[in-house]
Amino acid sequence: MTSVTGDSLLMSLLGFGCDAVSTMIESLSQCGRWNAACSVFQPRRRPWLRLRMGLHWSTSARRTTQLQGLRSVSPLSDWNSEQYLKFEAERTQPSIDLARRVKQVIPGPNIIADLGCGPGNSTTVLRRAFPESRLFGIDNSPNMIASAKKNHPGIEFLLGDVHHLHGRYDLMFSNACLQWIPGHRLLIPQLMESLNPGGVLAVQIPMVEQTPLFSIIYEVANDPRWNLGDVLRGKNGTLQPEEYFDILAATSSDFTQWETTYYHRMPSADALVEWVKGARMQRYIAALNDRDESGKAAERFEQEVAWRVNSAYVPQANGEVILKFRRFFFIAKK
Protein backbone atom coordinates (compact mmCIF):
# COMPACT_ATOMS: atom_id res chain seq x y z
CA MET A 1 0.00 0.00 0.00
CA THR A 2 1.33 3.45 -0.91
CA SER A 3 2.36 5.54 2.08
CA VAL A 4 0.69 8.89 2.72
CA THR A 5 2.95 11.91 3.15
CA GLY A 6 1.97 15.36 4.35
CA ASP A 7 2.64 17.01 0.99
CA SER A 8 0.80 14.40 -1.04
CA LEU A 9 -2.16 14.58 1.32
CA LEU A 10 -2.23 18.36 1.05
CA MET A 11 -2.23 18.29 -2.75
CA SER A 12 -5.00 15.71 -2.75
CA LEU A 13 -7.22 17.61 -0.34
CA LEU A 14 -6.99 20.89 -2.20
CA GLY A 15 -9.06 19.44 -5.03
CA PHE A 16 -12.01 18.47 -2.85
CA GLY A 17 -14.80 20.28 -1.07
CA CYS A 18 -15.29 20.35 2.69
CA ASP A 19 -17.62 17.31 2.80
CA ALA A 20 -15.19 15.18 0.83
CA VAL A 21 -12.32 16.33 3.02
CA SER A 22 -14.20 15.39 6.18
CA THR A 23 -14.83 11.89 4.79
CA MET A 24 -11.17 11.49 3.85
CA ILE A 25 -10.03 12.62 7.31
CA GLU A 26 -12.34 10.12 8.98
CA SER A 27 -11.03 7.33 6.76
CA LEU A 28 -7.43 8.28 7.45
CA SER A 29 -7.99 8.31 11.20
CA GLN A 30 -9.65 4.89 11.08
CA CYS A 31 -6.80 3.32 9.13
CA GLY A 32 -4.12 4.77 11.37
CA ARG A 33 -2.58 7.00 8.70
CA TRP A 34 -3.64 10.33 10.19
CA ASN A 35 -0.75 10.66 12.63
CA ALA A 36 1.77 10.16 9.84
CA ALA A 37 0.36 12.99 7.79
CA CYS A 38 -1.08 15.42 10.29
CA SER A 39 1.93 17.73 10.34
CA VAL A 40 0.74 19.31 7.11
CA PHE A 41 -2.16 20.84 9.01
CA GLN A 42 -0.14 22.63 11.66
CA PRO A 43 -2.26 25.74 12.24
CA ARG A 44 0.65 28.14 12.37
CA ARG A 45 1.87 26.98 8.97
CA ARG A 46 -1.35 26.87 6.99
CA PRO A 47 -4.26 28.58 8.80
CA TRP A 48 -5.95 29.26 5.47
CA LEU A 49 -6.23 25.53 4.73
CA ARG A 50 -7.64 24.79 8.15
CA LEU A 51 -10.27 27.51 7.67
CA ARG A 52 -11.30 26.08 4.29
CA MET A 53 -11.89 22.71 5.87
CA GLY A 54 -13.69 24.01 8.95
CA LEU A 55 -11.21 22.27 11.25
CA HIS A 56 -10.33 23.53 14.72
CA TRP A 57 -7.36 22.95 16.99
CA SER A 58 -7.24 23.66 20.69
CA THR A 59 -4.44 25.89 21.91
CA SER A 60 -2.82 26.14 25.31
CA ALA A 61 -4.83 25.70 28.47
CA ARG A 62 -3.89 29.24 29.45
CA ARG A 63 -5.46 30.68 26.31
CA THR A 64 -8.57 28.54 26.70
CA THR A 65 -8.99 29.74 30.29
CA GLN A 66 -8.56 33.36 29.29
CA LEU A 67 -11.16 33.12 26.58
CA GLN A 68 -13.82 31.51 28.75
CA GLY A 69 -14.92 34.96 29.85
CA LEU A 70 -15.08 36.28 26.30
CA ARG A 71 -18.15 35.59 24.25
CA SER A 72 -19.46 37.55 21.32
CA VAL A 73 -23.04 38.69 21.55
CA SER A 74 -25.46 35.91 20.70
CA PRO A 75 -27.87 37.48 18.24
CA LEU A 76 -31.43 37.72 19.48
CA SER A 77 -32.29 37.14 15.87
CA ASP A 78 -30.02 37.02 12.88
CA TRP A 79 -28.84 40.22 11.26
CA ASN A 80 -30.71 41.54 8.23
CA SER A 81 -28.15 42.11 5.50
CA GLU A 82 -30.62 43.91 3.22
CA GLN A 83 -31.46 46.45 5.91
CA TYR A 84 -27.76 46.88 6.73
CA LEU A 85 -26.85 47.54 3.09
CA LYS A 86 -29.40 50.32 2.62
CA PHE A 87 -26.51 52.61 3.55
CA GLU A 88 -23.70 50.56 2.06
CA ALA A 89 -21.59 53.52 0.90
CA GLU A 90 -21.68 55.20 4.30
CA ARG A 91 -20.93 51.98 6.17
CA THR A 92 -18.10 51.05 3.80
CA GLN A 93 -16.20 54.36 3.80
CA PRO A 94 -14.44 53.69 7.14
CA SER A 95 -13.15 50.39 5.71
CA ILE A 96 -11.71 52.25 2.73
CA ASP A 97 -10.03 54.79 5.00
CA LEU A 98 -8.62 52.11 7.30
CA ALA A 99 -7.34 49.91 4.46
CA ARG A 100 -5.58 52.90 2.90
CA ARG A 101 -3.69 53.52 6.15
CA VAL A 102 -2.92 49.82 6.57
CA LYS A 103 -1.18 49.69 3.19
CA GLN A 104 1.34 52.20 4.48
CA VAL A 105 2.23 49.84 7.34
CA ILE A 106 2.09 46.42 5.66
CA PRO A 107 1.93 46.71 1.85
CA GLY A 108 1.72 42.98 1.08
CA PRO A 109 0.20 40.74 3.77
CA ASN A 110 0.08 37.06 2.86
CA ILE A 111 -2.93 35.94 4.91
CA ILE A 112 -5.78 38.28 5.88
CA ALA A 113 -8.79 37.72 8.12
CA ASP A 114 -11.68 40.19 7.94
CA LEU A 115 -13.30 39.78 11.35
CA GLY A 116 -17.00 40.55 11.44
CA CYS A 117 -17.10 40.88 7.66
CA GLY A 118 -20.89 41.29 7.55
CA PRO A 119 -22.26 41.13 3.99
CA GLY A 120 -18.75 41.39 2.55
CA ASN A 121 -18.51 45.11 1.84
CA SER A 122 -15.34 45.51 3.93
CA THR A 123 -13.87 42.29 2.51
CA THR A 124 -14.17 43.57 -1.04
CA VAL A 125 -12.28 46.68 0.03
CA LEU A 126 -9.48 44.42 1.25
CA ARG A 127 -9.54 42.41 -1.97
CA ARG A 128 -9.01 45.58 -3.99
CA ALA A 129 -6.28 46.79 -1.65
CA PHE A 130 -4.46 43.43 -1.48
CA PRO A 131 -5.29 41.46 -4.65
CA GLU A 132 -2.52 38.89 -4.14
CA SER A 133 -3.32 38.02 -0.53
CA ARG A 134 -5.19 34.99 0.80
CA LEU A 135 -8.34 36.57 2.18
CA PHE A 136 -11.10 35.24 4.42
CA GLY A 137 -14.25 37.03 5.53
CA ILE A 138 -15.50 35.71 8.87
CA ASP A 139 -18.79 36.45 10.63
CA ASN A 140 -21.06 34.70 13.12
CA SER A 141 -24.27 35.72 11.32
CA PRO A 142 -25.61 33.10 8.87
CA ASN A 143 -27.63 35.80 7.09
CA MET A 144 -24.61 38.03 6.60
CA ILE A 145 -22.40 35.18 5.38
CA ALA A 146 -25.08 33.99 2.94
CA SER A 147 -25.36 37.51 1.54
CA ALA A 148 -21.59 37.85 1.26
CA LYS A 149 -21.24 34.56 -0.60
CA LYS A 150 -24.05 35.46 -2.98
CA ASN A 151 -22.81 38.95 -3.80
CA HIS A 152 -19.06 38.29 -3.78
CA PRO A 153 -18.51 34.75 -5.13
CA GLY A 154 -14.81 35.30 -5.74
CA ILE A 155 -14.02 35.63 -2.02
CA GLU A 156 -14.14 32.92 0.63
CA PHE A 157 -16.53 33.64 3.50
CA LEU A 158 -16.75 31.54 6.63
CA LEU A 159 -19.28 31.28 9.42
CA GLY A 160 -17.24 31.55 12.59
CA ASP A 161 -16.52 33.31 15.84
CA VAL A 162 -13.66 35.63 16.68
CA HIS A 163 -12.81 33.49 19.71
CA HIS A 164 -12.26 30.36 17.66
CA LEU A 165 -9.57 31.66 15.33
CA HIS A 166 -6.34 29.72 15.42
CA GLY A 167 -3.14 29.94 13.48
CA ARG A 168 -1.26 33.05 12.44
CA TYR A 169 -2.22 35.96 10.18
CA ASP A 170 -0.38 38.85 8.62
CA LEU A 171 -3.37 41.17 8.85
CA MET A 172 -6.43 40.97 11.06
CA PHE A 173 -8.91 43.63 9.98
CA SER A 174 -12.12 44.54 11.78
CA ASN A 175 -14.54 47.27 10.76
CA ALA A 176 -17.39 48.05 13.17
CA CYS A 177 -17.46 44.61 14.77
CA LEU A 178 -15.51 44.49 18.03
CA GLN A 179 -17.93 46.82 19.83
CA TRP A 180 -20.31 43.85 20.03
CA ILE A 181 -17.78 41.77 21.96
CA PRO A 182 -17.09 42.46 25.65
CA GLY A 183 -13.74 42.04 27.36
CA HIS A 184 -11.39 44.02 25.13
CA ARG A 185 -8.60 43.97 27.72
CA LEU A 186 -8.30 40.25 27.02
CA LEU A 187 -9.55 40.20 23.44
CA ILE A 188 -7.06 42.68 21.94
CA PRO A 189 -3.98 40.86 23.35
CA GLN A 190 -5.36 37.55 22.07
CA LEU A 191 -5.82 38.97 18.58
CA MET A 192 -2.28 40.38 18.69
CA GLU A 193 -1.07 36.92 19.68
CA SER A 194 -2.64 35.49 16.52
CA LEU A 195 -0.47 37.65 14.26
CA ASN A 196 2.73 36.60 12.57
CA PRO A 197 5.82 38.61 13.56
CA GLY A 198 5.41 42.01 11.95
CA GLY A 199 1.69 41.38 11.46
CA VAL A 200 -0.92 44.09 11.86
CA LEU A 201 -4.21 44.40 13.73
CA ALA A 202 -6.38 47.11 12.16
CA VAL A 203 -9.63 48.07 13.88
CA GLN A 204 -12.45 50.60 13.53
CA ILE A 205 -14.92 50.97 16.39
CA PRO A 206 -17.98 53.24 16.36
CA MET A 207 -18.03 55.68 19.30
CA VAL A 208 -21.71 56.56 19.34
CA GLU A 209 -22.74 56.60 22.98
CA GLN A 210 -23.10 60.41 23.07
CA THR A 211 -24.64 60.73 19.61
CA PRO A 212 -28.22 62.10 19.85
CA LEU A 213 -29.57 59.33 17.62
CA PHE A 214 -28.27 56.55 19.85
CA SER A 215 -29.07 58.41 23.07
CA ILE A 216 -32.69 58.53 21.93
CA ILE A 217 -32.73 54.79 21.29
CA TYR A 218 -31.32 54.05 24.75
CA GLU A 219 -33.79 56.42 26.42
CA VAL A 220 -36.76 54.78 24.73
CA ALA A 221 -35.42 51.29 25.41
CA ASN A 222 -35.08 52.08 29.13
CA ASP A 223 -38.61 53.49 29.35
CA PRO A 224 -40.71 51.23 31.65
CA ARG A 225 -43.20 50.79 28.82
CA TRP A 226 -40.60 48.79 26.91
CA ASN A 227 -38.26 47.60 29.67
CA LEU A 228 -35.43 46.82 27.25
CA GLY A 229 -32.56 48.13 29.34
CA ASP A 230 -31.01 44.69 29.76
CA VAL A 231 -30.96 43.78 26.07
CA LEU A 232 -27.55 45.33 25.42
CA ARG A 233 -26.33 45.77 29.00
CA GLY A 234 -22.87 44.23 29.31
CA LYS A 235 -22.78 43.52 25.58
CA ASN A 236 -20.87 46.62 24.46
CA GLY A 237 -17.12 46.09 24.72
CA THR A 238 -16.09 49.60 23.70
CA LEU A 239 -13.42 51.25 25.85
CA GLN A 240 -12.09 54.79 25.78
CA PRO A 241 -9.19 55.68 23.44
CA GLU A 242 -6.87 56.16 26.43
CA GLU A 243 -7.63 52.60 27.55
CA TYR A 244 -6.86 51.20 24.10
CA PHE A 245 -3.61 53.19 24.18
CA ASP A 246 -2.46 51.33 27.31
CA ILE A 247 -3.48 47.93 25.90
CA LEU A 248 -1.65 48.50 22.62
CA ALA A 249 1.42 49.96 24.32
CA ALA A 250 1.74 46.70 26.26
CA THR A 251 1.06 44.30 23.37
CA SER A 252 2.45 45.84 20.17
CA SER A 253 5.81 47.00 18.86
CA ASP A 254 4.22 50.12 17.40
CA PHE A 255 0.73 51.54 16.98
CA THR A 256 -1.23 54.57 15.92
CA GLN A 257 -4.69 55.83 16.86
CA TRP A 258 -7.03 58.41 15.38
CA GLU A 259 -10.64 59.46 15.20
CA THR A 260 -12.81 60.59 12.31
CA THR A 261 -16.24 62.15 12.56
CA TYR A 262 -18.22 61.41 9.42
CA TYR A 263 -20.92 63.85 8.34
CA HIS A 264 -23.32 61.52 6.56
CA ARG A 265 -25.91 63.17 4.32
CA MET A 266 -29.27 61.56 5.05
CA PRO A 267 -32.43 62.28 3.04
CA SER A 268 -34.55 62.72 6.17
CA ALA A 269 -34.73 62.04 9.89
CA ASP A 270 -36.68 58.87 9.09
CA ALA A 271 -33.59 57.65 7.22
CA LEU A 272 -31.67 57.80 10.51
CA VAL A 273 -34.15 55.32 11.96
CA GLU A 274 -33.64 53.07 8.95
CA TRP A 275 -29.89 53.28 9.60
CA VAL A 276 -30.10 52.03 13.18
CA LYS A 277 -32.63 49.35 12.22
CA GLY A 278 -29.75 47.76 10.32
CA ALA A 279 -27.64 47.48 13.46
CA ARG A 280 -28.21 48.44 17.08
CA MET A 281 -31.99 48.94 17.10
CA GLN A 282 -32.46 45.56 15.46
CA ARG A 283 -31.71 43.87 18.77
CA TYR A 284 -34.42 45.78 20.58
CA ILE A 285 -36.93 45.01 17.85
CA ALA A 286 -36.00 41.33 18.02
CA ALA A 287 -36.49 41.28 21.80
CA LEU A 288 -39.93 42.86 21.45
CA ASN A 289 -40.92 40.40 18.74
CA ASP A 290 -39.94 37.57 21.08
CA ARG A 291 -42.42 38.95 23.61
CA ASP A 292 -45.15 39.88 21.14
CA GLU A 293 -45.27 37.77 18.00
CA SER A 294 -47.85 40.08 16.44
CA GLY A 295 -45.11 42.67 15.97
CA LYS A 296 -47.29 45.48 17.32
CA ALA A 297 -45.01 46.21 20.29
CA ALA A 298 -41.99 46.53 18.01
CA GLU A 299 -43.98 48.78 15.69
CA ARG A 300 -44.95 51.11 18.56
CA PHE A 301 -41.34 51.15 19.79
CA GLU A 302 -40.11 52.12 16.33
CA GLN A 303 -42.75 54.85 16.07
CA GLU A 304 -41.66 56.30 19.41
CA VAL A 305 -38.01 56.36 18.32
CA ALA A 306 -38.93 57.94 14.97
CA TRP A 307 -40.99 60.68 16.65
CA ARG A 308 -38.11 61.62 18.96
CA VAL A 309 -35.52 61.49 16.19
CA ASN A 310 -37.61 63.79 13.99
CA SER A 311 -37.86 66.21 16.91
CA ALA A 312 -34.12 66.16 17.62
CA TYR A 313 -32.72 66.44 14.08
CA VAL A 314 -33.51 69.69 12.29
CA PRO A 315 -33.32 69.41 8.48
CA GLN A 316 -30.88 71.52 6.50
CA ALA A 317 -32.10 74.10 3.99
CA ASN A 318 -32.38 71.43 1.28
CA GLY A 319 -34.36 69.08 3.54
CA GLU A 320 -31.49 66.67 4.25
CA VAL A 321 -30.32 65.72 7.73
CA ILE A 322 -26.71 65.42 8.91
CA LEU A 323 -25.77 62.30 10.85
CA LYS A 324 -22.55 63.02 12.71
CA PHE A 325 -20.89 59.66 13.30
CA ARG A 326 -17.71 59.43 15.35
CA ARG A 327 -15.42 56.47 14.67
CA PHE A 328 -12.21 55.42 16.44
CA PHE A 329 -9.38 53.67 14.59
CA PHE A 330 -6.16 51.98 15.54
CA ILE A 331 -3.43 50.09 13.70
CA ALA A 332 -1.08 47.99 15.83
CA LYS A 333 2.00 46.11 14.66
CA LYS A 334 3.25 43.00 16.39
Q: What is the pLDDT of residue 30?
A: 44
pLDDT of 255 higher than 80: yes
Amino acid, res. 169: Y
Q: Report DSSP state, residue 33.
A: -
Whether domain 64-333 has CATH 3.10.450.40: the reply is no
pLDDT of 195 higher than 70: yes
Q: What percent of the chain stands above pLDDT 70?
A: 72
Query: pLDDT per residue over 19-28, tens digit each?
Result: 444 444 444 4
Query: pLDDT per residue over 69-109, tens digit each?
Result: 333 444 444 555 555 556 678 889 999 999 999 999 999 99
Q: What is the pLDDT of residue 126?
A: 98
Q: Are strands 195-206 and 156-159 parallel, antiparallel or unpaired?
A: unpaired
Question: Reading across the β-sheet that carries 195-206, which strands appear in turn?
Answer: 156-159, 134-139, 111-115, 169-175, 195-206, 321-333, 254-266
Residue 219 CB contacts under 8 Å (≥ 6 apart), including other chains? 308
Closest CA to 96 of 191, 244, 202, 188: 202
pLDDT confidence band for 303 (50 / 70 / 90): very high
3-state DSSP assignment of residue 45: coil
Indicate the domain borders of the chain: 1-41, 64-333
